[in-house]
């Protein structure tokens, strides 16, 4: 079956391209005939239909696999409120919590709950709900994959709408996590009444939309929550159609069956955005392409690492393979992240790469050899990108053998420190904090780290518990500079999310990549 997925991916792109080319101008017929006009009228009538790229496995946003799947968070944030909300530019703003913070010596946290918020069943959101949600998330037996963050605070006390808790271990990113993975407030009384199974069948939250109907693997229908504390959503009904195949999503928007879709091939985006009745917009998101370097031979040679970095023309890759939809980067911090430092540059310089390799005795005729692993079809043009990079490397004296693997295998190899010397991956960081990019990707003890060297353990280690935020961010910038100078990872580019929607819709794209229906309205 895994093979079938690969076949599907391959055939989808091949046949899509060729069939659409054959179809040519005929494809404009439904658009010209006003078919899409119906769709806009459909939207104006109060229903927004989104062709969504993943299925929703589970409604509980705090437990299991789906809790740590960033792609599903758009749906969760439509139904549930995170503790703290996030603005389109990744900054944080009041959500169900209106105030939050540490005391001076960072030994306590203070949270203030918004007054007047209600669950979808009409009952009020209480401080007890907040405490119960935090305690449940911190329970080692609860199945929360981020439990290690939530367990760092405990002994909560409630005073009116204010909650205080003791810091058991200082976690500088605690409040940032409250805006993202598993950082949701759930209804204590309702959950205890219906149980986990009952909650899956009839979930309620306090978000702008409540669940109206759910057909697994088919669609989720939401209705506006009349008691929502925030701005009233523009659409009374929202339908998420789960259309996981990109070809089918393109067809769905072309046929007028949906009002909006995203995560489609860039070639299709360019074609569709110029079609009558459709509009397109792009947004750089908090997801980067990178190549892990594992500290095994020959990557223990600094010259080889730096040559591998300087030999890659990232702009050419973005321009030619991604149609210009990408932002080349030099560190694991993309523009907009808290520790982004534009002064750190890793230039494209094949001559420098050659001279570095020559110092270690390698030339194009006598190249250094290693394996690079990559997925194929997991991210747009991933395999083609690695092919291009291998071509660039060959010119300077690096002979890399490409090995294709599935993403699940990547995770397992990475956790076991068994990746090849070079391995392609995409790293998401929706909260934009350096600890969740450079920190976890480059700190030896982390299961996500491929570079286990002591140099970075010593540099990053003290930053985990750094209580001075400015000092912490400056520390990460220094680490990023050091990594760039040592070539211990190869950052490639920041991804750009393509969104296609019917004209007549105003879509506020989020830097964290979420498509939130509450931020979509008739233009």
225-244: contacts with another protein (CB under 8 A): 237, 239, 241-244
> Considering the rule CB under 8 A, would residue 21 count as an interface residue with another protein?
no
> Considering the rule CB under 8 A, would residue 268 count as an interface residue with another protein?
no
Q: Which of 55, 71, 281, 426 binds another protein (CB under 8 A)?
A: 55
C-beta closer to another protein: residue 330 or 436 = 436
> Considering the rule CB under 8 A, would residue 269 count as an interface residue with another protein?
no
Q: Which of 102, 170, 219, 348 binds another protein (CB under 8 A)?
A: 219
Count the site residues for another protein by CB under 8 A.
82
Binding residues among 277-336 for another protein as defined by CB under 8 A? none
Binding residues among 381-410 for another protein as defined by CB under 8 A? 405-409
C-beta closer to another protein: residue 23 or 316 = 23
Q: Which of 187, 256, 326, 380 binds another protein (CB under 8 A)?
A: 256
Contact between 237 and 212 (Cβ < 8 Å): yes
Structure tokens at 231: 């701005």
Instruction: Report the C-alpha gap between 265 and 108 in whole angstroms.
Output: 47
Instruction: Report the C-alpha gap between 388 and 393 in whole angstroms.
Output: 9
Instruction: Report the C-alpha gap between 20 and 4 in whole angstroms.
Output: 23
Q: Which of 140, 159, 160, 347 binds another protein (CB under 8 A)?
A: 140
Contact between 243 and 231 (Cβ < 8 Å): no
* Residue appearing with tokens 């204010």: 162
Binding residues among 171-210 for another protein as defined by CB under 8 A? 181, 196-197, 200
C-beta closer to another protein: residue 310 or 410 = 410
Residues with Cβ within 8 Å of 420's Cβ and at least 6 positions away in sequence, in order, are 294, 370, 371, 372, 373, 403
Q: Which of 71, 161, 248, 355 binds another protein (CB under 8 A)?
A: 248
Q: Say how many C-beta atoms besides its own lie within 10 A of residue 261's C-beta.
A: 30
Binding span for another protein by CB under 8 A among 12-20, 113-121, 335-343, 485-493: 12-20
First CA to last CA distance, the chain: 43
Q: Which H, E and C letters describe 55-101, residue by residue? A: CCCCCCCCCCHHHHCHHHHHHHHHHCCECEEECCCCCEEECCEEEEE
Q: Which of 60, 259, 382, 480 binds another protein (CB under 8 A)?
A: 60
C-beta closer to another protein: residue 47 or 98 = 47
Binding residues among 116-135 for another protein as defined by CB under 8 A? none
C-beta closer to another protein: residue 354 or 410 = 410
Structure tokens at 400: 């890399």
Instruction: Report the C-alpha gap between 288 and 333 in whole angstroms.
Output: 9
Contact between 83 and 149 (Cβ < 8 Å): no
> Considering the rule CB under 8 A, would residue 149 count as an interface residue with another protein?
yes
Burial class (CB in 10 A: 0-12, 13-18, 19+), 177: buried
Q: Which of 121, 148, 202, 485 binds another protein (CB under 8 A)?
A: 148
Instruction: Report the C-alpha gap between 166 and 327 in whole angstroms.
Output: 41
C-beta closer to another protein: residue 65 or 300 = 65
Q: Say how many C-beta atoms besides its own lie within 10 A of residue 99's C-beta.
A: 12
Contact between 13 and 21 (Cβ < 8 Å): no
Q: How far is the CB of 172 from another protein (least distance, A)?
A: 12
Sign of CA dihedral 306, 312, 313, 314: negative
C-beta closer to another protein: residue 105 or 197 = 197
Which helix (H) or strand (E) element contains residue 223? strand 219-224
Which helix (H) or strand (E) element contains residue 12? helix 2-23
**Helix/strand/coil for 260:** strand
> Considering the rule CB under 8 A, would residue 217 count as an interface residue with another protein?
yes
Residues 421-460, one symbol each (x = binds another protein by CB under 8 A, - = not), give --------------xx--xxx---xxxx------------
Q: Which of 12, 71, 98, 135 binds another protein (CB under 8 A)?
A: 12
Binding residues among 478-517 for another protein as defined by CB under 8 A? none
Q: How far is the CB of 178 from another protein (least distance, A)?
A: 15
Q: How far is the CB of 345 from another protein (least distance, A)?
A: 26
Contacts 24+ apart (CB under 8 A), 211-214: 211/59, 211/79, 211/120, 212/237, 214/56
Structure tokens at 138: 């911190």
> Considering the rule CB under 8 A, would residue 37 count as an interface residue with another protein?
no
Q: Which of 41, 44, 87, 213 binds another protein (CB under 8 A)?
A: 213
Binding span for another protein by CB under 8 A among 87-95, 110-118, 141-149, 186-194: 141-149
Q: Which of 106, 108, 221, 481 binds another protein (CB under 8 A)?
A: 221
> Considering the rule CB under 8 A, would residue 10 count as an interface residue with another protein?
no
Residues 339-378, one symbol each (x = binds another protein by CB under 8 A, - = not), give ----------------------------------------
């Amino acid at each position: 079956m895994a093979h079938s997925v690969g076949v599907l991916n391959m055939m989808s792109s091949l046949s899509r391209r060729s069939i659409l080319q054959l179809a040519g101008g005929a494809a404009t017929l439904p658009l010209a005939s006003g078919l899409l006009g119906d769709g806009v009228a459909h939207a104006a009538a109060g229903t927004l239909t989104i062709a969504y790229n993943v299925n929703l496995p589970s409604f509980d946003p705090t437990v299991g696999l789906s809790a740590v799947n960033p792609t599903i968070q758009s749906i969760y944030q439509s139904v549930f409120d995170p503790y703290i909300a996030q603005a389109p530019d990744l900054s944080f703003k009041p959500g169900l919590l209106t105030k939050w913070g540490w005391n001076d010596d960072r030994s306590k946290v203070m949270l203030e709950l918004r007054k007047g918020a209600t669950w979808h069943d009409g009952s009020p959101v209480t401080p007890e709900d907040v405490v119960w949600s935090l305690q449940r998330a911190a329970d080692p037996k609860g199945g929360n994959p981020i439990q290690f963050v939530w367990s760092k605070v405990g002994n909560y006390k409630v005073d009116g709408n204010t909650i205080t808790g003791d810091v058991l271990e200082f976690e500088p990113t605690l409040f940032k996590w409250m805006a993202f993975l598993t950082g949701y407030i759930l209804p204590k009384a309702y959950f205890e009444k219906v149980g986990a199974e009952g909650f899956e069948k009839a979930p309620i939250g306090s978000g702008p939309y409540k669940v109206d109907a759910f057909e697994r693997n088919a669609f989720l229908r939401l209705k506006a929550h009349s008691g929502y504390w925030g701005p009233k959503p523009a659409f009374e009904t929202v339908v998420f159609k789960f259309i996981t195949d990109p070809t089918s999503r393109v067809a769905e928007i072309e046929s007028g069956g949906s009002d909006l879709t995203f995560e489609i091939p860039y070639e299709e985006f360019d074609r569709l955005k110029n079609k009558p009745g459709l509009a397109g917009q792009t947004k750089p998101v908090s997801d980067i392409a990178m190549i892990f370097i594992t500290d095994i031979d020959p990557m223990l040679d600094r010259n080889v690492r730096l040559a591998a970095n300087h030999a890659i023309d990232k702009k050419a890759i973005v321009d030619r393979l991604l149609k210009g939809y990408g932002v080349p980067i030099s560190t694991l911090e993309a523009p907009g992240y808290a520790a982004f430092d534009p002064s750190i540059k890793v230039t494209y310089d094949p001559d420098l790469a050659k001279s570095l390799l020559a110092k270690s005795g390698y030339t194009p005729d006598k190249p250094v050899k290693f394996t690079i692993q990559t997925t194929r079809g997991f991210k747009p043009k991933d395999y083609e990108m690695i092919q291009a990079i291998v071509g660039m490397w060959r010119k300077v004296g690096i002979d890399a053998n490409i090995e294709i693997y599935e993403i699940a295998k990547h995770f397992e190899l990475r956790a076991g420190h068994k990746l090849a010397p070079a391995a392609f991956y995409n790293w998401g960081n929706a909260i934009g904090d350096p600890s969740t990019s450079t920190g976890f990707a480059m700190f030896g003890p982390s299961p996500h780290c491929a570079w286990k060297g002591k140099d970075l353990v010593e540099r990053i280690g003290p930053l985990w518990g750094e209580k001075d935020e400015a000092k912490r961010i400056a520390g990460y910038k220094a680490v990023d500079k050091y990594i760039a100078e040592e070539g211990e990872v190869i950052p490639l580019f920041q991804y750009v999310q393509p969104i296609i929607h019917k004209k007549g819709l105003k879509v506020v794209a989020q830097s964290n990549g979420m498509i939130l229906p509450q931020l979509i309205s008739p233009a």
